[in-house]
Chain A
Amino acid sequence: MSDDVQHHIAVYKKVAASLAVLTTLTVGVSYLDVAVPLAVTIALVIAATKGSLVVSFFMHLLEEKKPVPLSRGGIGLIIGSLLVTALFFLVIIFIPLMGHSDKVGTYFSLPNANAPTVETPAAH
């Protein structure tokens, strides 16, 4: 038991150091002059890395693999419910895309060779 805890403590220290480095990195990178999509990607990749370190080691998710029911080789109730949560989280995060792609009420036309062309006055 105690050896196990000692091992955990060594891991906690490494994770703490990694989180400090990644925090410095994310702030440092934000001062670079890069395009917005790239900046967003870099920031989210670093945040996701930090987040997975916290969840895996501080919250011990890597050790929560008890199968349910124990007699069968399942993934465990915690990981199972988190997978369902992750699915719905993705749905909720992508809801703005529906708003973005919703064209009801907006005029648009497809290219059509037979359609009469609208005369545009020549610019002077």
Chain B
Amino acid sequence: MSMDIPYIVDERPDTGLTNVKLGIWLFLASEVMLFGALFSSYVLLRLMAPEWPVGADVLNVPMGTFNTVVLIGSSVTMVFAYASLQMDNLAGFKKFMGATIGLSLLFMVVKGFEYNHEFEIGNFPWTSTYLAIYFTMTGLHALHIVGGVVVNAYFLGPGSKLWETNKTQFTNRIEAAGLYWHFVDLVWIFLFPVLYLL
């Protein structure tokens, strides 16, 4: 006898949702509070600081802009990966999911160059309050990217076997992974202007 997790394929009658979708949204709600606390800390630190640099004077705005476009692009390929599964097209899914992972890795490489440059010129998390909150927020965001890449790579590789046995369940999983990924994109949409432009 197998113990299946209930309502991961069909919607639960009283919620009108699969447990997958409700679960990921509740998780994202907790993530809103996690990043919300850091944004709040940012506001507090900045209001209380005797001096605060303009982000553009410290960071590389073209690199940040490039990364913003890359991450939004990865969100776009992610919705196309999901749409491919809805159209019963596993090959299309693999193509777009591969692109999503590629763009995510590109984002991390650019971020790595940015961090490396900061370290080279002696800008460390303990150098100033601005750099402390910059490294904390972008570092936590980068950890989220890494987590997303691991999950997406699993679904592109071994996880895609589920498609052969249960298409709906696999599609639901990709929807949940996509919701998480768009959230990571959403956080960056706010991080970029707050840290780089203001």
Q: Interface of A with B (CB < 8 Å)?
A: 1-2, 5, 8-9, 12, 16, 19-20, 23, 26-27, 30, 36, 39-40, 43-44, 46-47, 50-51, 54-55, 58-59, 66-70, 76-78, 81-82, 84-85, 88-89, 92-93, 95-96, 99-100
- B153, CB-defined interface residue at 8 Å: no
Residue of B nearest to A78 (CB): B25
> With A and B bound together, what is the CA distance between A27 and B61 in angstroms?
8
Tell me, yes or no, whether B65 is within 8 Å of chain A by CB.
Answer: yes
B144 in the interface, Cβ–Cβ < 8 Å?
no
List, in ascending order, chain A residues with CB within 8 A of B91's CB: none
- Bound-complex Cα distance A54 to B190 (A): 12
Residue B136 lies at the interface, judged by CB distance under 8 Å to chain A:
no
Contact A59 B179 (CB under 8 A): yes
Contact count band on B: 35 or more
| Contact between A78 and B21, CB atoms less than 8 A apart | yes
Residues A85 and B86 in contact, CB atoms below 8 Å apart: no
Interface residues of B (CB under 8 A from A): 13-17, 21-22, 25-26, 29, 32-33, 36-37, 39-40, 43-44, 47-48, 56, 61, 65, 68-69, 72-73, 75-76, 78-80, 83, 86-87, 178-179, 182-183, 185-186, 189-190, 192-194, 197-198
**In the bound complex, CA of A89 to CA of B75 (Å):** 24
Could you list 8 A-B pairs, sorted by A, with CB under 8 Å? A5-B83, A12-B79, A12-B83, A27-B61, A30-B61, A88-B36, A92-B40, A100-B47
- Chain B residues within 8 Å of A81, by CB: 25-26, 29
Most buried by B among A26, A39, A84, A88: A26
A-B contact number at CB 8 A: 124
Tell me the minimal C-beta distance from B14 to chain A in angstroms.
5
Kindly state the separation between the CA atoms of A12 and B78 in the bound complex, as whole angstroms.
10
Query: Is the beta-carbon distance between B33 and A30 smaller than 8 angstroms?
Result: no
Q: Specify which chain B residues have a CB less than 8 angstroms from the CB of A66 in the assembled complex.
A: 15-17
Give the Cβ gap from A10 to chain B, nearest Cβ, in Å: 11
Check if A23 sits within 8 Å of B44, measured CB to CB: no
- Report the Cα distance A95→B33, complex, angstroms: 13
Whole-angstrom distance between the Cβ of B116 and the nearest chain A Cβ? 23
Could you tell me if A77 and B15 are in contact, using CB atoms closer than 8 angstroms? yes
CB distance from B195 to the nearest CB of A (A): 11
From residue B151, how far is it (CB to closest CB) to chain A in Å?
A: 16
What are the 5 A-B residue pairs with the smallest beta carbon separation, nearest first?
A: A66-B16, A96-B44, A43-B193, A30-B197, A85-B29
Docked-complex contact A85 and B33, CB < 8 angstroms: yes
Contacting residues, chain B, for A88 (C-beta < 8 A) = 33, 36
Give which listed residue, B78, B194, B197, contacts A27 with CB less than 8 A: B197
